[in-house]
Each structure stands twice: as structure tokens, then as C-alpha cells.
Amino acid sequence: MPAALKPATRAVWARRHISTTICPKSLISAQSLSWLEKFRAARRLKGIELRELGARDADAFLVIENELTAENNNAHG
């Protein structure tokens, strides 16, 4: 089918400069959800000791922290 005849694809989720045409919830892996839950628990307990984590966990926590900081900066600026 020629591109001009295809129906327009619509975003199902958008936030600032990011959007997707498929549900992002279905793309979250069990491991990603585990990192998010561990990160949240560590923050609620007021401490994340990166040196006590494995390399993959520490990397995930740093990525989550950076994204959270960027989100908070955008919300307040």
C-alpha cells in the first residue's frame, strides 16, 4: 500500500520530547520493573550504597537517578 494511502499512526503516549505509537507498559521487562522497585525502596529507606550493588544494578540505579533528576528539573524549570 502506498504511504499516502496508509492511515496515520497516532501516538498513544507522549511526554515532552518523547512519544510512542505502542503502549510502553508492555515493553517493560521483569528486570526493569525489579530495578525500579529496588530503586524506590532504597530511596524510601534513605540510602543507596552503590558499592554494595552489582555492576548491572549500580548502572541501572544511576540511569534511573539521572532520569528522575531530569524529570524533576523539567517540572520545576
Each residue's pLDDT, cut to its tens digit, for the chain (77 residues) gives 566 556 568 888 888 777 888 877 777 889 999 999 999 998 898 877 888 889 999 999 999 999 899 888 876 65
Indicate the number of domains in the chain.
1
pTM score of the predicted model? 0.66
Question: What's the pLDDT at 35?
Answer: 93
Q: What is the domain range of residue 54?
A: 3-76
Report the C-alpha dihedral over residues 71, 9, 32, 73, rounded to 10 degrees.
0
